[in-house]
Each structure stands twice: as C-alpha cells, then as structure tokens.
A and B are shown apart, each in its own frame.
Chain A
Amino acid sequence: MFSAVYVESEVRDHPRAQAILERYRDLAHIECERFGQIFNRKAQNFRMQKQYPALILARKHGRKVLPAPAGYGFEAEQSHYFSHMLNCIYDCRYCFLQGMYRSAHCVLFVNYEEFAASIGQNIATGEGKQVFYSGYDCDSLALEPVSGFAEFFVPFFAQFPQAVLELRTKSTQISSLLQMAPSPNCIVAMSFTTEAAAKRWEQDVPSIEKRLKALARLQDAGWPVAVRFEPLLPDPDPNAHAALFDRVFSRLDPDRLHSTSTGLFRMPADYFRNTLKLYPDEPLLARETQTRNGVVTLQQPDREAWLANLETMLFRHIDPASYYRCAD
C-alpha cells in the first residue's frame, strides 16, 4: 500500500507512531523535521505519486477543529470538521483532494489526544447539537487497521451525547466498529455512485456490493448508518441511478437510516484547474463546466429537473425528512 514511511522527529517515539513503524518495518523509515518538507514541496506530481504513495507520520499543530464548509453535511446548529489524515488511499477522479494537495502521500497525524482535547473544548463551549465530520480531507475508515482512528474517537465521542461524529467512508474496514457496542452518536456514512461511475472513476475503492455488505452489517449490529449519493454524475444509462437506489435500499432498512443525501460534482475553481492540469486526458474533467461563486460544476442545462427526478425516485424508498441535498 505504501512505498515508505516518513516520520517527523517529534513523533518518532509516540506510541502510535511506534506501532505503525513496527507494522511497516520492511519499508524505509525516513525522518524529517516537519511533514510539510515532503508534503508541500514544489514540483511534485500528484498523479505520479499516486502510483507509489508514502505514509507520513506527523503531529498536527495549530487549530485542529474547523468550521465545516457551507453546504457540507446535514443540518446542525454547529458543524465542524477535523482531519486526522490528509489524503486518501483511494483514487477517485472527481475528488477535490487531488487538486488541493501537491502530494499524493498520506499524512497521518498521530496526536489524537490533542485532537480530542480540542473537540472536547468545542463541545464544552458550544451550544445545542454539534456535528463533527471526520472524512473531509480523507476517508474516515480506509486506514483503520493502521490508524486505529475509530477505535480511539468513537469511544471518545460516546462521552458526549450532545455531539455527533460522522465517519464518511467508502471503505469496508469495519472490524473495529463491530468489536464495539454501537454508539448512537456515531454515524457511518457510506458514499455511492452508479455502478458505471464507480468502475470508471473510483480506483482502488471496494465494489458497491462490498460496501453495501459492510454497511448492512453495521446497520444489523445497531450502528446508525447513512447513505451519501455523491457525487451525482450523469450516466449513459438513464436507469442507472434508479438501479442504484433500488439496490441500496433493498439491502438496508430505510426506516433505520440516519440520513440520505445527494450532491453534485463540485470543486473549488482553483482545485479544478490543478486537477485538470494533472489529468488533461480525463473525459470527466474535459466536459463542459460552469463556475459560480468560485465553484466548478458540470454543465447540465436541465440540471434542476434531473435532480428533482432523482429525488422523486429516492423518495419512493426513504422519508423526505431524512434527506438533504448538499449545496453547490
């Protein structure tokens, strides 16, 4: 999975870093002062690096909890996100991370305790329901056997029933969750695109079937689960989305779903420009686009009608009250 492990001198002796270095004892361990020396260098090629990504173990300094971007996630009085990881082991062509970072290496911040302290402080000083998203800059569960992220944070959040943790993932790494008692304030949200889109644009991602199986297991075990149909991409088969919805909701109990959401392909304009430079041969990115308020979306003259039609199809399966559409 990784070609090497870089480790900041500062965390080299951290127990979490030590365990990971031991796990990857056959790989080169390369010491650095700050992860940015490797991650933020100029003249890197994300696309090429994606073929041999390295793992970087680091300490997160500065603000660890940030306000969630507008339009991200379900309604809550206060929404935040925190990133124990930067980048993802999967390679989805529509993902904004490839335009945001110069490097395809995965940075894992091992100072979970400091994240937990910041989150605790946010919860203590905040009011009402607060949602914390963990899968904004990474996939929450994809590296779970290595990171032990859920193993640490799910019990932590269990102490704060007024707060909600969303684990956003395309991964089937659910063993650590299944070993715990289900936590009512931890939602496992799985993303899906149509079968054709998944095969074409989601490299290294578990199949829809495997993801559904994992999500159904979690739901059966009592975990709150959610479904994210993101990004919605035009499909050559006009029935593709209906088929996806039928498939998903025949495997999951819609009445016990925490929420279902949709969101279009969208990317900040500068990230889109970077992504296009990396993949000038990618048909998805070569399509007509439109930019509004600094965000690029695919151009679709009948977009609203198309979305409304998809929502009508969705509401045959789910209660509209449990649905939200992510803003552009």
Chain B
Amino acid sequence: MGSGFLIDRIEHRRTGECHWPPVPGLNLPGCGLVTVDEPESAYLKDAAYDMEAAGFYAAAAGLATTDLVYVFKIVSDNRENPVGEVDPQQVPELFRRQESAIRELVGHLRARSAAFTDWYDMPAEYELLLRKYRFSATRRAALGQYCRRFRALGRQRRLSELVQGRFRDAGSLMSAMRLELARADEPGEVSR
C-alpha cells in the first residue's frame, strides 16, 4: 500500500491491447499494469491494477510523442487491503509518501519537454514573415524549412535582416532566402 511504480507495460484486460510507456532510466521502481473495467479483487497477475491507464495512455499518445507520456501508479489497494476498504481520507497521505518520486518524475518530464520544444520550435521570424506576406500552403511549409536552416547554419542575424527587408511578394522573399542558403555552408567553412 502506498508504493509508487513507474509503469512500463499497460495491458487493457478487455481488449487485450498493450501499451509500452517509456523507461527513462530514473531510479524509480517499475512494473506492468493491467487496466480493468471493474474494480479488481483477485489481483492474479504480478502487476499493478487500475481503471484508467490504458485509456489515458492511448489518448495522450495521440497528442504528443509517446516518449513524453508516463504513467505513475500509487498502490491504493491489494489482496490484503481490498478496494472496498479504501478510506478516501488516506489518499492524500498516499500521495505525500510518493512526493519525492513524483517530483523527480515531473522534473525529468519538464526537462525532456523543454528539450523537445527547443529542438522543434519554429524561429520567431517565421511568424513575422507569415504576417508580412501571403504564402500558399506549399510555400508556407518551405518557409518553415528555410527559417530553420538559417538558424541551424548560424545565420539568424541574416534571417532577421530579411524580415526587415522589403520584398515584392512571398515568391521574391523566398528566392532571396534560397540564394542566401545556397552560399557557403557554414561561416568560415568551405565545401572542400
């Protein structure tokens, strides 16, 4: 009772569907979990039981990369302490006992999420250019790629200058960006 587990396998008993949340290498105890439709009383498997994880995981995995979706289970009942005898007053205490584990997990997720945002955020110039010119859907996608390439190649300043510049239309802007990107690959670097 009160133990916390980072879930590494979720099995939905009714559908047989399985999910495998990531195992991020934290020093938290892990185990498998069975999601059931009715409160469990037999606890036959060497696993945790709940009534939500399979649904939660499937829904969350549709909204974000599965590498950012974790399930942490705090055991509130077992064979010796049946579900019918769980005292709601005790629940906050069960959470309190796992506070440090939850904090560790949340800290880890925050760091991963921040890294994710850092990797994939679009440069601010992208939005500025979208507001300034009209782009077709195809050009909009290409603009995103160009902006990211400017940033990756360390030419952020040049990108800002292009935002400040005046071009006849989106096509002219993108021609200028293409020409710029076709220049020597990286500052101080030649192609041979």
Residues 97-147 (chain B) with a chain A CB within 8 angstroms:
112, 115-116, 119-120
Task: Indicate if the CB atoms of B116 and A238 lie closer than 8 Å.
Answer: no
- Asked if A4 and B8 sit within 8 Å, CB to CB, the answer is yes
Rounded to whole angstroms, the CA-CA distance of A132 and B137 in the bound complex is 47
- On whether the beta carbons of A286 and B191 are closer than 8 Å, the reply is no
Q: How far is the CA of A79 from the CA of B156 in the complex (A)?
A: 47
Query: Which of A114-122, A142-150, A248-256, A276-284 participates in binding chain B?
Result: A276-284
Q: Judging by beta carbons under 8 Å apart, are A283 and B23 in contact?
A: no
Per the bound structure, the CA–CA distance linking A283 and B152 in Å amounts to: 5
Instruction: Chain A residues near B32: list those with CB within 8 A.
Output: 30
- The verdict on A286 contacting B9 (CB below 8 Å), with A32-B20, A37-B20, A43-B61 known, is no
Query: With A and B bound together, what is the CA distance between A286 and B65 in angstroms?
Result: 24
In the complex with contacts A30-B20, A283-B154, A234-B185 CB distance below 8 A: yes
List the count of A-B residue pairs having beta carbons below 8 Å apart: 98
* Given A234-B191, A281-B148: A32 and B182 interface contact (C-beta under 8 Å): no
Indicate whether B18 reaches chain A with its CB closer than 8 angstroms: yes
Question: Quick check: is B190 within 8 A (CB to CB) of the other chain?
Answer: yes
Within 8 Å of chain A (Cβ to Cβ): is B176? no
User: In whole angstroms, what is the CA distance A28 to B149 when docked?
Assistant: 40
Give the interface size bracket for B toward A.
35 or more
Name which of A159-167, A221-229, A300-308, A315-323 contacts chain B: A300-308
> With the chains together, A288 CA to B185 CA distance in Å?
7
A41 within 8 A of B: yes
Q: Which residues of B contact A286 (CB under 8 A)?
A: 148-149, 152-153
Q: Does A156 contact B (CB under 8 A)?
A: no
User: Whole-angstrom distance from the CB of B83 to the nearest CB of chain A?
Assistant: 26
Beta-carbon contacts under 8 Å, A39-54 to B? 41, 43-45, 47-49, 52, 54
* B189 → A minimal CB distance (Å): 5
- Whether A300 pairs with B116 at a CB distance below 8 angstroms is no
B21-40 contacts to A (CB < 8 Å): 22-25, 30, 32
A285 CB–B CB distance under 8 Å: yes
Residues of B within 8 A of A43 (CB): 61-62, 64-66
Residues of B within 8 A of A285 (CB): 152
Q: Nearest chain-B residue to A281 (Cβ)? A: B152
B192 at the interface (CB under 8 A from A): yes
Q: Which residues 251-303 of A sit at the B interface, judged by CB distance below 8 A?
A: 279-283, 285-288, 298-302
Q: How far is B120's CA from A2's CA once the two chains are assembled, in angstroms?
A: 26
Contacts of A236 in B (CB 8 A): 186, 188-190
Q: Given A30-B8, A286-B148, A288-B181, is A48 in contact with B112 using a C-beta cutoff of 8 Å?
A: yes
| Contact status A30-B192, CB under 8 Å | no
Contact with A along B157-184 (1 / 0, CB 8 A): 0000000000000000000000001100
Asked whether B185 lies within 8 Å of A287 as measured between CB atoms, the reply is: yes
Nearest opposing residue in chain A for B192, CB measure: A306
B93 surroundings in chain A (CB, below 8 A)? none
B18 cross-chain contacts in A, Cβ below 8 A: 32, 37
Q: How many Å from the CB of A24 to the closest CB on chain B?
A: 12
B191 and A280 contact, CB distance less than 8 A: no
The interface residues of chain A lying within 8 Å CB-to-CB of B149 are 286
Sample (16) of A-B pairs whose CB atoms are under 8 Å apart = A30-B9, A43-B62, A44-B65, A48-B67, A52-B24, A52-B25, A54-B23, A236-B186, A238-B192, A282-B152, A286-B148, A286-B149, A287-B153, A288-B181, A288-B182, A300-B191
User: Using a CB–CB distance below 8 Å, which chain A residues touch chain B?
Assistant: 3-4, 6, 28, 30-32, 37-38, 41, 43-45, 47-49, 52, 54, 234, 236, 238, 279-283, 285-288, 298-302, 305-306
Name the 5 nearest CB pairs between A and B, nearest first.
A286-B152, A4-B23, A3-B25, A286-B149, A45-B65
Residues of B within 8 A of A (CB): 8-9, 18, 20, 22-25, 30, 32, 61-62, 64-68, 112, 115-116, 119-120, 148-149, 151-154, 181-182, 185-186, 188-192
